[in-house]
Amino acid sequence: MNLIRLIFTVMIWIWVLLFPLSGSSVAQTYREIGLPPSEIFEKMIGYAQEKDFEKLRKTLQIIKPITQTLGNKYSKTPDEAIRTAIDKKDREKAVLSVQRLVALDLQDLLSIAVGSVRESSEKATTKFKAAYLDYLLISPYVQVKSFSADQKIKNTFRKTVTTSAKEDELKEMAEVIQKELFNACPELKP
The string of pLDDT tens digits covering residues 45-64 is 999 999 999 999 999 999 99
Rounded Cα distance between 171 and 122, Å, is 15
Tell me: pLDDT of 24 over 50.
no
Burial class (CB in 10 A: 0-12, 13-18, 19+), 88: exposed
Q: Is residue 178 included in any domain, yes or no? A: yes
The confidence band for 118, taking pLDDT boundaries of 50, 70 and 90, is confident
Whole-number average pLDDT of the chain:
84
Q: Among residues of the chain, what percentage have pLDDT more than 90?
A: 59
Tell me: pLDDT of 164 over 80.
no
* Mean pLDDT calculated for residue range 138-145: 97
Rounded Cα distance between 53 and 47, Å, is 7
The confidence band for 17, taking pLDDT boundaries of 50, 70 and 90, is very low
Least confident of 24-38, 116-130, 133-147, 165-179: 24-38
* Mean pLDDT calculated for residue range 78-90: 95
Q: Is residue 7 included in any domain, yes or no? A: no
Rounded Cα distance between 23 and 166, Å, is 26
Domain that holds residue 30: 23-188
Total number of domains in the chain = 1
Rounded Cα distance between 167 and 2, Å, is 34
Q: Is residue 111 included in any domain, yes or no? A: yes
Q: Is residue 49 included in any domain, yes or no? A: yes
Q: Is residue 110 included in any domain, yes or no? A: yes
Q: What is the 3-state secondary structure (H, E, C) of 165-190?
A: CCHHHHHHHHHHHHHHHHHHCHHHCC
The confidence band for 5, taking pLDDT boundaries of 50, 70 and 90, is low
Q: Is residue 11 included in any domain, yes or no? A: no
Rounded Cα distance between 168 and 17, Å, is 28
Q: What pLDDT is recorded for position 21?
A: 40
Least confident of 40-44, 67-71, 145-149: 67-71
Q: Is residue 14 included in any domain, yes or no? A: no
- Give the residue among 154, 150, 153, 121 at the shortest CA–CA distance from 16: 154
* Mean pLDDT calculated for residue range 106-117: 91
Tell me: pLDDT of 117 over 90.
no
Q: Is the pTM of this model over 0.75?
A: yes
Q: What pLDDT is recorded for position 167?
A: 79
Q: Is residue 174 included in any domain, yes or no? A: yes
57-64 — which CB contacts under 8 Å span 24+ positions? 57/83, 57/86, 62/33, 63/33, 63/37
Rounded Cα distance between 23 and 144, Å, is 30
CB 56 within 8 A of CB 93: no
Specify the length of the chain in residues. Answer: 190
Question: What does the DSSP 8-state code read for residue 120?
Answer: -
